Amino acid sequence: MIAAGTTSLIAATATGRPDRAGARGRADALDGTPEQVHLTWDADPTRSVVVSWASPGRANRPRVRIGQRLIPATERSWTDALTGAVTWTYHARVDALRPGATYGYAVTADNDGNAADPFSATFTTAPEGRAAFRFTSFGDLPAPDAEWAGPYGEDGYATGAVEAFQPLFHLLNGEPTPGAGNPGDCAQVWRDFGNNVQASAANRPWLPVPGCHELDPGTGPHGLASFLTRYTLPPNGVDGLEGRWYAFRVGTVLFVSLSGDDVAYSAAGTGYSGGAQTRWLESTLAAARADASIDWIVAQVHQCACSSAPDGKGSDIGVRQAWLPLFDTYEVDLVLSGHDQGYERSFPVRGVDAWAGVDTEASVAADTRRPHAVTTVDSGVFDTTQGTVHLVLGGGAGRPGDSGPATLPWEQRTARVITRPPAPVPEQPVDPGGHPLPAAGTVEPATWSARRDPSAGHGIAVFDVNPGSDSGGQTSVTVRYYRAAGAEPASPAPGALSARPGDYTLFETFTLIRPRSDRRRWHPKA
């Protein structure tokens, strides 16, 4: 594990991984050999986990073995409408586990081509009660296609960074694949992604939210059939809409993972849930703040509410309108997003600055619902009872070149804001993933922006939760952002994680604080 306070260079290293059929010394065959193995949390991360995987063909009696226990898996399938390729996936809920315990497991089937030496890995359940833990996060993790070299390229490289820090789990803030941009290769792109991240995701849960690229044309309602076939995520209790948004708790932190394509203008903002997601969000946040054993609320959504990247997609007024008032009311501490492929941190924000933008087409004032910065003093320590901190973490995708000029002082930064939904493609029905991103026709002074990384390349945020030692005392989350400037290095040999010593360096550290909730009477904010 990387030392908590290190400022030295880090190397993302791991042992060889038996994650692709070819990497294990066998030719691809349409059998039940497990691949793309990954973990997610179930309803209770202290006592259960979900093991999921795919196989080239349909598996016979797919199962997970832990000690003397055999847990049968349920089957799902998805057929690519464009190519006819069938994806077979399997999901096994493993329960009756002990909190904070490490388990070894194996995945196999009767027609597993590696039955004599089945795929095996380990995982650790979440701790119970007020315990310290670490998690990591980034978004925008593309699998290789014609634009990227090697089967262990972009996503294999970023996966190595996760393993360098050995978190309990990882939050993936949308866009694990190029999806809609490569409709003819959708099944293969998903397969490459699943196999490349397996070196980490088979050993610790990866919790994703839907991004724009997962909205693939022709993949069922809302464009999410492929995504929903591959992932089993914690339940939300909304019939017909499971898997799109969810919440889970680890220690004193509630994590709320949202499907931004429901409300974001940059994803067509179709409102497919009919308001169900927002109602669920409000009830979930209210219950959390009424629970004296929960201190922190962390929200995860792909689209950005606060981004001023000069070459980014822009801040999204759809997210601002639908959810930022709830984040204010229920004191959400931290919001993580992807979408814009870089790093940016906001000052704590609460409320809005009305009519702070300018419509660039009409040259008139525009109400962008700009988040109001409660302070512009970048002290490095922020009390989140006073405001929510937003982080853009799109560093899963490395980019060549530079993303813009040197970082400007916060009072000189300008953000583009998407204030109009996208126009449908002429003479084509509106289909998820089948329309262009809307133009950000409005700009605002980004008074909420505290720090932005102008360099290109990969990055990862590391979060260390300290629950505090005294009832009614203070709890904290220390956040470190590491970056690897420049494009990805040359792809390594099959079976090796793609990263070189010295790639990732510390960009910044800051700390969030708030009083523990066990002696605090909380009231919703106006």
* pLDDT at residue 396, as a whole number: 75
Neighbours of 79 (CB within 10 A): 15
Proportion of the chain above pLDDT 90, given as a percent:
59
What 3-state DSSP class applies to 518? Answer: helix
Q: What are the sequence ranges of the domains in the chain?
A: 128-519
Q: Which fold has domain 128-519?
A: Purple Acid Phosphatase; chain A, domain 2 (3.60.21)
- Supply 40's token pair: 């997610």
Comparing 191 with 266, which gets the higher pLDDT? 191
**pLDDT, tens only, 461-510:** 999 999 999 988 999 999 999 988 654 444 444 444 544 435 789 999 99
- Supply 44's token pair: 């209770």
14 has a pLDDT exceeding 80? no
Average pLDDT, the chain: 83
* pLDDT at residue 427, as a whole number: 41
The model's confidence at residue 208, banded by pLDDT at 50, 70 and 90, is: very high
* pLDDT at residue 498, as a whole number: 47
**pLDDT, tens only, 312-322:** 788 999 999 99
Please check whether residue 421 is in contact with residue 399, taking contact to mean a CB–CB distance below 8 angstroms: no
pTM over 0.75: yes
* Nearest to 207, CA basis, from 256, 161, 242: 256
Contacts with 265 (C-beta within 8 Å, 6 or more apart), sequence order:
316, 317, 318, 418, 419, 420, 421, 422, 438
CA atoms within 13 Å, Cβ hemisphere of 129: 4
